[in-house]
């Protein structure tokens, strides 16, 4: 029987082709292809047993064990899951790690059930290589970096641009000690795949926010990171009151809504408080004990005021956190890079920087 394959093309990702990942859940969790759903041939324990058999007894013994583990009702349940997904997504394509035995078995079982779907030639590994290559290639494209103090709405500016690259969205983390979101941060692999997917359609100039190399649990790929460090930049300068309003909306009000949506109002509120309190505690050594304790008291007072409807009370601890910690730290790094700092094409308020980015882009 000849089982059809399709090339490991970036077009599959750009066109958001439905994908069936038949690898084990532990593999899928570590990193999947964009748009994929995990409908495994073997669950984690089954894969573990087969892997041991392969190492100790060879391929044929491993295949035989796999056939004994996934048979009867178990096999039928796996086939039913694939059938149900293909019924909803008739263009779905199958893949495993290398496009080998597992995806071929899934194809064969589906074919026996009257459904013919191709697999990706080379599987997850081949398409991941192409995604990583897209990031490498992007390092040679013209880039503009959007810089500025904390609270200058750099991410908002990035998202106003068709060629903007929102690295924080791909990492599912806002990049600072307070940047964690209700959902888990992206794995390194999923961060890279999301970045590469965005880059597929962007072959010209790119606009990226000024970031540390690590965002949440993910690191910006080194070649791309070096390109960011060399790129010209624009710098947003906004007054403290304006920045505090942005922080309150993004790090307090929007965060509360995301937690409530995920966990419900009461539990979400408790989780948000713990997150912000823990984030402040992680800065204790850098802040110094006296300053940290003062900010901790102000934060606790703000939580009590927030609970009865006064969300503005958070500015009492956010303002000194900016003026006494984040702003001096940013200016220190600017001064440290004075001799090697990339050229600044424009310095101004948010609107003028947006205009400058649009003008540079065109």
The pTM for the full model equals: 0.92
Higher pLDDT, 102 or 58: 102
Confidence band for 1, pLDDT divided at 50, 70 and 90: low
**pLDDT at residue 158 is higher than 80:** yes
Q: Return the pLDDT at 346.
A: 96
CA distance 72 to 230: 59
Residue 58 or residue 274, greater confidence: 274
The mean pLDDT of 158-169, rounded to a whole number, is 96
**Span 4-17, average pLDDT:** 96
Q: What is the mean pLDDT of residues 125-153?
A: 97
Q: Which pLDDT belongs to residue 299? A: 97
Catalytic residues: 96
pLDDT > 90: percent of the chain: 82
Q: What is the pLDDT of residue 63?
A: 82
Q: Kindly report, residue by residue over 173-212, the tens digit of the pLDDT.
A: 987 888 888 888 999 999 999 999 999 999 999 999 999 8
pLDDT score recorded for residue 50: 85
Given a cut of 70, whether residue 40 has pLDDT beyond it is: yes
Q: What is the pLDDT of residue 178?
A: 84
Q: How far apart are the first and last CA of the chain?
A: 53
Query: According to the model, what pLDDT value does residue 62 have?
Result: 82
Distance, in Å, from the CA atom of 119 to the CA atom of 8, rounded to the nearest integer, reads 9
pLDDT confidence tier of residue 100, bands split at 50, 70 and 90: confident
Residue 310 has pLDDT above 80, yes or no: yes
């Amino acid at each position: 029987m000849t089982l059809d394959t399709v090339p490991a093309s970036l077009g599959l990702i750009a066109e958001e082709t439905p994908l069936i990942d038949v690898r084990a859940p532990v593999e899928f969790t570590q990193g999947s292809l964009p748009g994929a759903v995990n409908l495994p041939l073997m669950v984690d324990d089954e894969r573990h047993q087969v892997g041991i058999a392969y190492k100790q007894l060879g391929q044929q013994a491993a295949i035989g064990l796999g056939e004994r583990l996934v048979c009867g009702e178990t096999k039928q349940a796996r086939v039913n899951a694939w059938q149900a997904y293909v019924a909803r997504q008739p263009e779905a394509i199958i893949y495993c790690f290398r496009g080998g035995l597992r995806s071929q078995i899934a194809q064969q079982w589906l074919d026996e059930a009257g459904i013919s779907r191709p697999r990706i030639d080379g599987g997850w590994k081949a398409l991941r290589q192409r995604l990583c290559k897209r990031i490498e290639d992007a390092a040679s494209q013209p880039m503009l970096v959007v810089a500025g103090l904390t609270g200058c709405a750099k991410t908002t500016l990035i998202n106003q641009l068709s060629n903007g690259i929102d690295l924080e969205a791909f990492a599912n983390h806002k990049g600072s000690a307070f940047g964690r979101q209700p959902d888990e941060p992206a794995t390194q692999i999923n961060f890279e795949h999301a970045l590469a997917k965005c880059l597929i359609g962007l072959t010209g100039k790119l606009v990226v926010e000024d970031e540390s190399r690590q965002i949440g649990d993910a690191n910006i790929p080194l070649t791309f990171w070096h390109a960011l460090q060399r790129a010209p930049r624009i710098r947003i300068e906004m007054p403290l009151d304006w920045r505090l309003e942005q922080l309150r909306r993004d790090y307090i009000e929007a965060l509360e809504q995301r937690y409530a949506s995920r966990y419900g109002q009461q539990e979400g509120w408790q989780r948000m408080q713990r997150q912000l309190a823990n984030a402040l505690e992680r800065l204790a050594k850098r802040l110094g004990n006296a300053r940290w304790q003062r900010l901790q008291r102000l934060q606790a007072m703000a939580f009590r005021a927030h609970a009865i409807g006064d969300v503005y009370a958070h500015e009492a601890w956010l303002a000194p956190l900016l003026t006494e910690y984040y702003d001096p730290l940013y200016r220190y790094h600017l001064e440290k890079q004075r001799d090697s700092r990339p050229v600044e094409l424009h310095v101004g308020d948010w609107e003028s920087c947006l205009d400058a980015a649009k003008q540079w882009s065109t």
